[in-house]
Amino acid sequence: MKLTTAGESHGKALVGIIEGLPSNLPVDIDLINQYLALRQSGYGRGGRQKIERDKIEILSGVRNRLTLGSPLAFEIVNRDYENWKPYMAPEGADVTQKRLTKVRPGHADLTGVMKYDQTDARNILERASARETAVRVAAGAIAMCYLKELGVSVSGYVKCVCGIEDKNEYSFEELAAAKSQPLFMLDPAIQQKAMSLIDELREAGDTAGGIVEIRIKGLKSGFGSCMQYTTKLDAILASALMSVQAIKGVEVGMGFGVAYNRGSAVHDEIYLKDGRYVRSRNNAGGIEGGMSNGEEIVLRAAMKPIPTLMKGLHTVDYATGQPATAAAERSDVAAICACEVILESVAAFAIADVISGRLGGDNLREVKERYSRLS
């Protein structure tokens, strides 16, 4: 499967094209819109979320809620475009307005204007914006429709916000409750403490990042490969998660903890039980030698604090070369809930792509038959 995205944050629409879906796959439009709404939710979000009410509009590749096997094209209209049309219209716009030259530390602004020979960082930030992830959430929800047909599920929760960490362990089934919580955390006391910190940061004009844990359940063994570095499942998933704006680190299973423990405490011992190989624990996070081993896949990703601070940071005005305070675009204090939804989505799409690559299949019946034959 292949996803191509297009669109600017304040442009007419965000656009996606998915290639490689089998025919006759049921597309749950309600699920897609539910995930788009979840992406806009969460404690600490800013004013933009009150303007946009994201909905998918499928343009091609689906008839009567079933895929045709052709490219699936869709768009998500930017409602805020009407307010930005005078400054963003491709047919002609006043580009002297809404110009941004006081480049923001931690954002793509400065590097982007230098690379693309621009004088206005808006020509960079409009595409570098995390608004682009709405397309990847929609595509991920479509991938979840594919995974559901095979008995594979993806879920997650917020594990840490700006150093306030939930160290409890949860079953996969418990994770579903996270999305009904204001900060997608599962421990009420820890969540309240994190929310109080977000309130303090809002008053101070500051921002917060955090850690999200993503789990994938039901994937059979043997997806990914040890034969070529480009086909290792952990590398593919890490790449997918790292491609999301603001992600600066990814762990699989025990992650960096493996460096602090001896081998006997790290490696998962193997037993044969009822004709099936099982592990004593899951420190490997469901991946060994670049391949799924049939256990739950466990991923964690670290999100940096949002680089647009309302109080502004020290920077340079790109137009004058003079010291300045960084521009303050409308922004969030914390977008960790959105990050959780986005990471679920990109992980789902990456897994669906790996499954599709191994099984092939022009129609859903072929895919399900081939998957059922795997141990």
Rounded Cα distance between 56 and 53, Å, is 10
Closest CA to 52 of 104, 9, 105, 99: 9
CA atoms within 13 A on the CB side of 3: 27
Q: What secondary structure does DSSP assign to 324-375, as a single string?
A: EEPP--S--S--HHHHHHHHHHHHHHHHHHHHHHHH--SBHHHHHHHHHT--
Rounded CA-CA distance 212/102 in Å is 31
In terms of Cα–Cα distance, which of 216, 142, 150 is closest to 358?
150
- How many domains is the chain built from? 1
Distance CA 118, CA 137 (A): 30
Q: Would you state the pLDDT for residue 214?
A: 98
Q: Say how far apart CA 313 and CA 325 lie, in whole Å.
A: 6
| Overall average pLDDT of the 303-318 stretch | 89
Helical pair 336-359 and 364-372, crossing angle rounded to 10 deg: 80
Range of the domain at 195: 2-372
Query: In degrees, to the nearest 5, what angle opens at C-alpha 271 toward C-alphas 265 and 276?
Result: 135
Please say whether the beta carbons of 255 and 246 come within 8 A: no
- The answer to whether 148 touches 135, Cβ cutoff 8 Å, is no
- Structure confidence by residue, pLDDT tens digits, 271-283: 999 888 889 999 9
Provide the mean pLDDT of the chain: 94
pLDDT, residue 362, reads 97
Summarised one tens digit per residue, pLDDT across range 288-307 is 999 999 999 999 999 999 88
| CB 44, CB 4: distance < 8 Å | no
Which three-class secondary structure string do you get for 256-292? Answer: HHHHHCCHHHHCCCEEEECCEEEECCCCCCCEECCEE
The whole-model pTM stands at 0.94
State how far the alpha carbon of 257 is from the alpha carbons of 222, 266, 269, 299, 343, in Å: 25, 9, 17, 13, 22
pLDDT digits (tens, 9 = 90+) for 80-104: 999 999 999 999 999 999 999 999 9
Q: Locate 196 and state its tokens.
A: 């109080």
Among the listed ranges 12-21, 47-56, 98-107, 125-134, which one has the minimum average pLDDT value? 47-56
| pLDDT, tens digit, 9 for 90 and up, residues 109-165 | 999 999 999 999 999 999 999 999 999 999 999 999 999 999 999 999 999 999 999
**Strand, helix or coil at 150?**
coil
Q: Tell me, what CATH number does 231's domain have?
A: 3.60.150.10
Question: One-letter amino acid identity for 329?
Answer: E
